[in-house]
Amino acid sequence: MPQFNGKQGGKPPSGSLPSLRCPRNGQRTSVHTTHSLFSHQPLDALNKHWEGARGRFASPDTGQHRGCAQPVGECGCITQRWRGGRHGLLSFLFPMNSVSFQARPSALLGLRPVVAACCLMLSALSAQAETSTLEQPWLLAQNLRAPSLDDVVVTATRTPQPLADLVADVSILDRETLEASGATALPDVLARLPGVEISRNGGPGNASSVFVRGAESRFTAVYIDGIRVDSQSTGGAQWEQIPLAQIERIEVLRGPAAAVYGSDAIAGVIQLFTRKGEGPAQPMVGVGVGSQGMRKIEAGISGSAGTEGAFDYALGLSRTISDGFDTKTSGSHHLDRDGYRSTSGNARLGLRINAQHRLDATLLAQRLNSGYDDFNYDAKAPADDRSLHRLRTAGLTWQAQWNDAYRTRLSITEAASHYETTPSPYLTETTLRGYLWQHDYQWGAHHFSAALERREDQLYNPAFDAKRATLDSQRSQDALALGYGYSAGGHTVQINARHDNDSEFGGHNTGSLAYGYAITPSLRATASVGTAFRAPTLYHRFSEYGVATLQPEKSRNAEIGLRWAEKSSTFSIVAYRNRVRNLISFAGVGACVSDYGCYANTARAQYEGVTVSGSYRMAGVQWRGAMDWQNPRDLDTGKQLARRAKRHATLGAETVLAGWNWGAEMQASGQRFDTVANTTRLGGYALWNLYASTRMARDFTLLARIDNLADKDYQLARTYATAGRALYVGLKWTPQ
């Protein structure tokens, strides 16, 4: 949500939208108004410039794009209408018969040659993949793989469970997959997964949103090594702050989990894990360069020491600099590159005291300095404004295995998020402390869990002028969570219940019930229902726009699924419906002190859809794909929620050839609306990416990645550009 510091012109907009960030102060915004151009846009949108694809600005005399053959409203130029049959399956799944922006000259050959080239490449690779693997069997260790049913998942119930025993809808990205993909930003990795979309105001380093099953970004709870990451100003994690370079494994739980995790887990939970040391000391040094002046260097060491590796350690540092690209498409801004600088590090230490007791300590820190164009454009200003981010997480955990059946876990954690802008003054800091005491008892096929949890939130938002008051507020939540699980004879049951007591708004109860039945050893049917909630942020309640009596946003979810898995092949189909009431949005003047408007519980939303995903190994090629049909909408107006498509899909293939791991992927999205008024369309798009890696000699790994191979011009947010074709090449040293 936007944080108005008294320097913006006009009054705050109104409404309810997904998390974004205003160019003025970088704060996320969930606001809209009835103005078609203002809604869900930077505050300069009222200028009503004709803004189109990157690099083409409005003609001052006609308001038409230079080179535009046919103007249409405010959205751009008609360049091509997509019809079924012309582009085959993509046209059927993503009928892009809406206005789309002109492609770059380098991409005028269209999409079909790219599709044909990728298919020919994959066919050729698959014909030789088996032979190459047999000739160099060590490549099997590098090859990308589908998640195994033996993989252990922690996020679903906060207790380690084999993937085969889960009823929940979970995806896993492991270290091999992350490294082989060559991706450099966390949202780009998450966008490969079923049920996940992203939106970003420009390139990496700029404000990003992650939509799980079409829900608001703030409806997903985010953890790093079990440490909750959140913002008490905007709500939800600030994705651009989280360094992918320090992440080893990602688990994504789709579906409400407030009965396990408490507030915020309405759409799901995303948990990130840093590297854990084991075995002999393993140093690592990596360097990389890429398009847009990107330079990256990283180093780390991990391993274990002592009797039977009783002490394990993992340390890592990373530095990335990018000159970026011009992220704004309007003419009223600095015509320069908006780059970023990121520095991150992590430390993870573990000590096995004896066979029953273990201590773990984690620390992660990130500093991000990124440029953006101030919406109050001043041609005399020497440079862009800068967004300064700092994220720090720290945690200490004691695990005890008292006997074969009973174990406990006690943890103390803290996460601190800092955001400020310069030279335009703005500052907000969120500190979140957590305390968890969890008990688990296994009795045959029955599993019982109980947890006491405390969460303390603090928000500091100082005033920089006389029109505002400094906000320095805090609150706490105390919770009791109970869980029961059963798995035997083809039946799996999971029941969870939780009571949260907030120091400000009182108690809230949540619960969930899930059931799975193994029709065959490979085929399982699942069904679940659950409730969830999200407490208002401290800014929503106690800022000048806040209302102390705001109620939590509440949801009810139901879903059914069918999953099949055998060796390296999987298939899953899940249908869900999640209804949210008391949706918080910025409305008109009300019970707060501001004359511009107040936050209020004003709307209802429904997120429903079907997700189909799977993987299959054929002729030496590992294929993966996912397709989402969804309808995220405002129940009061019937409008489609902003920046989320009704259809989106991914398709990928990986194989081994001539000493290289090769991969190709496609990401496609149907048209979206940039505003909740559904007046400004964002055209559909399909992106093609290629990546490859190989081990040079014994100790060096070379990787390369080409994003947006067809140089597609598209937008994730109106007036914000996206990167064109981009190349990244990296070299990593890991002595064997």
* Structure confidence by residue, pLDDT tens digits, 506-540: 899 999 999 999 999 999 999 999 999 999 999 88
User: Could you give the CA distance from residue 647 to residue 663 in angstroms, rounded to a whole number?
Assistant: 24
Region 497-504 average pLDDT: 94
Q: How many CB atoms lie within 10 A of CB 164?
A: 17
User: Could you give the CA distance from residue 484 to residue 448 in angstroms, rounded to a whole number?
Assistant: 5
Torsion of CA 579, 456, 433, 533, to 10 degrees: -10
Provide φ and ψ at 163, rounded to 5°: -55, -30
pLDDT at 337: 76
One-letter identity of residue 404: D
- Whether residue 228 is predicted with pLDDT greater than 60 in this model: the reply is yes
* Both tokens assigned to 51: 């803004």
Domain assignment present for 475: yes
- Whether residue 18 is predicted with pLDDT greater than 50 in this model: the reply is no
Sole residue written with tokens 């200490």: 396
CB 713 within 8 A of CB 53: yes
Domain assignment present for 226: no
CB 113 within 8 A of CB 106: no
CB 496 within 8 A of CB 512: yes
More confident site: 692 or 121: 692
* Structure confidence by residue, pLDDT tens digits, 627-640: 999 999 999 889 99
Domain assignment present for 427: yes
User: Could you give the CA distance from residue 540 to residue 20 in angstroms, rounded to a whole number?
Assistant: 16
CB 182 within 8 A of CB 704: yes
Domain assignment present for 286: yes
How would DSSP label each residue in 364-375?
A: EEEEEEEEE--S
User: Could you give the CA distance from residue 592 to residue 597 in angstroms, rounded to a whole number?
Assistant: 8
- Give percent above pLDDT 90 in the chain: 57
- Whether residue 477 is predicted with pLDDT greater than 60 in this model: the reply is yes
* Structure confidence by residue, pLDDT tens digits, 385-417: 888 999 999 999 999 999 999 999 999 999 999
- Whether residue 92 is predicted with pLDDT greater than 60 in this model: the reply is no
pLDDT at 552: 92
Domain assignment present for 588: yes
- Give percent above pLDDT 70 in the chain: 76
Work out how many domains the chain is built from and give that number: 1
Distance of CA 135 to the CA centre of its chain: 39
* CATH code: domain of residue 567: 2.40.170.20
Q: How many CB atoms lie within 10 A of CB 467?
A: 11
User: Could you give the CA distance from residue 583 to residue 593 in angstroms, rounded to a whole number?
Assistant: 21
Range of the domain at 447: 144-197+267-326+337-650
Region 60-64 average pLDDT: 30
Domain assignment present for 609: yes
CB 721 within 8 A of CB 326: yes
Question: Considering only CA atoms, which of 294, 288, 299, 145 is closest in space to residue 702?
Answer: 288
Domain assignment present for 608: yes
Domain assignment present for 679: no
Provide φ and ψ at 126, rounded to 5°: -65, -30
Region 604-613 average pLDDT: 96
